[in-house]
Structure 1
């Protein structure tokens, strides 16, 4: 059949429907990820892509549109572009109207008839969350998500963050999804969980014997999750002012990272066990009362934020925040857990810093505090470093701080690294939900941050600070 991608290792026929195929997510992430999977023969042998959008395109116009993106971004091996794009087709339609969905359902039914098998079907909602509800309803009502056989062919739906704007909307979305899909059919994307260094966190924690006895409140003094960016809101004033930094990166990326660092050993490295322990870790975070929000959080806007296009002159949205909380997990009781993020800051980095307590009986004098730290670098560097103490050369016993390190990029060949979205799509096709977010995790995240946002916005506590914008 025209559109089959040849020379693949896998034999499961699959149709990938991208709703919002002409949007930024496809342009920046999904197209490259699909091409990498194709280039590495990691897609099913029979694999078709149907793009769904409101633009007045046809198959040929869509392929030309995608071809220009590939050329502009220098995708490897241009001689393979046409073979790859031969799998793409187009359906014009309004996300809110069922007619185009019904037409697509008929088309996919014809494909199954030609293939003589009930194909697997992926539906990627690469669209604004405001239309999630309508799309989910139309997918169901048109019969697109109905199983075509009890033995063959699965259906999966993929959604991007944010999953709601508060606890209520998150619950509403979850209920709607729950009525139409089973949990194992729903793939909620937080691309941070697909980063190589993030996927290594549990291996790092639970495969190194020397860490296990020290990973608790007896030895750990503090854990800090930092996500700092040099860029400002970059022309996204209208969006950012509705959201703020805590909703944008705190409620998802940063809490997911924190959960991985404090969760219990899952004992088995299965998606079910890992997600269960991640969920328990997030549910253990103490819900802050008004006075705790006032004393244990900080929020700020960079100077000139209210002059940005699309930002209200009375804006209460933070571009920077710091939150110190605690967990009810017994092994981390009393340990400060810090989340810090900000736009237009002094550096670009995402890292988790674990500070260990000072040695109770130090045999030698030392100028500074004797505290070991683990720095888990995620962006821009991908490495793990540990600060430790050793003797300086010479006659006297003098102590100096040193660093041990492991650098991903230096340790492994560049060809081995997998892009975030490439990893996400591969796992979706193979049904592995390990790096996807569960309902329980999302609701726990909202239960934690919603009281903070409420005090910030309704009580104006603590007062909004300002900081110098880095140029």
Structure 2
């Protein structure tokens, strides 16, 4: 947090978006309720509809009660919070509406800083981002033409483009109005407690870091599974697919967090430098290696979903065997497996260590049953477990896997912040460590584009709803 209270205005594009209703409004209210927004602030929501400030405030209350029941625990404080909420009608295509928005932002009395410290949040479909940024620039609201001093920042939700070409175009467009240190590309996974703990787990514990390499680790498995389908996102999902929706961002960011080298310090640039190096080192998958490296699937009934093409080849499941061709990880497979309508909702990283050189306690193949593992469970619960072999009670020497587990809820009495709590505060503070830098976005898209090119129209394997997807016996 800032040492001194800072007055600011957040301009939220996408006043009626699902993200705003489910995450942003509750998070901002709770941050204010907990005293984290210590200065004066305003939230100006931008939408296409015609709403008064009072009607908008009523709408926000209804959405918080619907999606985050129990959040409003003090009616007097919530009423005070509502007085900080404003609404401006804007046609995102019309530059004159941005001039009206600019006048609304600058219309301040009695509270300095509200017009000079501006945080723009794009909770809109990705195709609108270039239009919004271009018009902000033309209306004098970009980060490179600040007439009244202070700071300006912009938060951009994923996806950042749909391929490498569009990502570069988007980065160029945003870069024309904001400098890189003003741009916060958000991936909410990077705000999760267990993801942030990967660095601490590795670099503050001497028993793990010496073993964190190809000499001791046999494989890394990253699972991002959901036990539900595409819900009402058919139009978006059928144009996107699992590789672009999950693997390009969440999956590769988790891989980079596990595989990165120790940074020179804990500055945002130092940490992001190391993640970027990992992404740059990932071996490209080609048409020659695609069969051994990638499995894609589509759950039964997907083509009957609303707004999905009857002959759709869009994947709702993907398993990709990646290799990081650097000194530390050469030859170690990193399997990312992600999908919709799978057996359960779970996100976890499993680091499996190599077997001992000689197995005294059973047949050689039994090592895979008791191999040492570090299991980082990101959701639904947040835990870290270590698996090791132990002798089963009795006369025979038989080994079984046993676990030591650390649970955030059981170990810490204070409740943790949600990812959006943390990332909103980071953006206000200007801390970019848990946001994605331009070069990482482009490296990730180059990796996914190569996979999509190599797949070349392959029909996804079908799989049953509630299963773990099609078989994934990938050799790399």
| Structure-2 separation of matches of 1:308 and 1:175 | 36
| Structure-2 separation of matches of 1:394 and 1:341 | 41
1:345, distance to aligned residue in structure 2 (A): 0.9
Does 1:32 find its partner at 2:34? no
| Structure-2 separation of matches of 1:18 and 1:395 | 67
Q: Which of 126, 130, 134 is residue 137 of structure 1 equivalent to?
A: 134
Q: Which of 306, 311, 316 is residue 313 of structure 2 equivalent to?
A: 316
* Gap runs ≥5 in structure 1: 1-7
1:327, distance to aligned residue in structure 2 (A): 0.7
Does 1:470 find its partner at 2:469? no
Secondary structure at the counterpart of residue 388 of structure 2:
strand
| Structure-2 separation of matches of 1:44 and 1:185 | 22
Does 1:449 find its partner at 2:443? no
Deviations 1:310-357 (A, max 9, x none): 111221110111111211121100001111111111111111111111
1:455, distance to aligned residue in structure 2 (A): 2.4
Does 1:427 find its partner at 2:426? yes
The question of whether the paired residues in 2 share the 8 Å contact of 1:353 and 1:375 is answered with yes
The question of whether the paired residues in 1 share the 8 Å contact of 2:65 and 2:72 is answered with no
1:438, distance to aligned residue in structure 2 (A): 0.5
Does 1:374 find its partner at 2:360? no
Of 366-375 and 139-148, more deviation after overlay is shown by 366-375
Deviations 1:194-249 (A, max 9, x none): 01111111111111100111100001000111111110111322211111111111
Alignment match, 1:77: 73
| Structure-1 separation of matches of 2:80 and 2:129 | 32
| Structure-1 separation of matches of 2:106 and 2:350 | 52
| Structure-1 separation of matches of 2:381 and 2:26 | 22
* Gap runs ≥5 in structure 2: 468-476
1:116, distance to aligned residue in structure 2 (A): 4.4
1:290, distance to aligned residue in structure 2 (A): 0.4
TM-score of the superposed pair, with normalisation by structure 1: 0.93
RMSD value over aligned CA atoms? 1.8
Of 370-379 and 217-226, more deviation after overlay is shown by 370-379
| Structure-2 separation of matches of 1:70 and 1:164 | 30
Does 1:22 find its partner at 2:16? yes
| Structure-2 separation of matches of 1:143 and 1:93 | 16
Of 32-41 and 355-364, more deviation after overlay is shown by 355-364
1:110, distance to aligned residue in structure 2 (A): 2.9
1:397, distance to aligned residue in structure 2 (A): 4.3
The question of whether the paired residues in 2 share the 8 Å contact of 1:271 and 1:434 is answered with yes
Q: Which of 218, 222, 231 is residue 219 of structure 2 equivalent to?
A: 222
TM-score of the superposed pair, with normalisation by structure 2: 0.92
Alignment match, 2:53: 59
Alignment match, 2:251: 254
| Structure-1 separation of matches of 2:396 and 2:111 | 79
Alignment match, 1:383: 383
Task: Kindly report which structure 2 residues correspond to 1:32-51, keeping only aligned pairs within 5 A, or say none.
Answer: 32-51=26-45
The question of whether the paired residues in 1 share the 8 Å contact of 2:157 and 2:185 is answered with yes
| Structure-2 separation of matches of 1:363 and 1:67 | 64
| Structure-2 separation of matches of 1:68 and 1:379 | 28
Does 1:99 find its partner at 2:96? yes
Alignment match, 1:163: 160
Of 98-107 and 128-137, more deviation after overlay is shown by 98-107
| Structure-1 separation of matches of 2:285 and 2:112 | 57
| Structure-2 separation of matches of 1:430 and 1:88 | 21
Secondary structure at the counterpart of residue 131 of structure 1:
helix
Task: Kindly report which structure 2 residues correspond to 1:231-250, keeping only aligned pairs within 5 A, or say none.
Answer: 231-250=228-247
Compared with structure 1, are the counterparts of its residues 318 and 116 closer, same or farther at alpha carbon in structure 2 (3 Å cutoff)? closer
The question of whether the paired residues in 2 share the 8 Å contact of 1:9 and 1:41 is answered with no
The question of whether the paired residues in 2 share the 8 Å contact of 1:224 and 1:337 is answered with yes
The question of whether the paired residues in 2 share the 8 Å contact of 1:307 and 1:313 is answered with yes
The size of the alignment, in residue pairs, is: 457
| Structure-1 separation of matches of 2:18 and 2:399 | 53
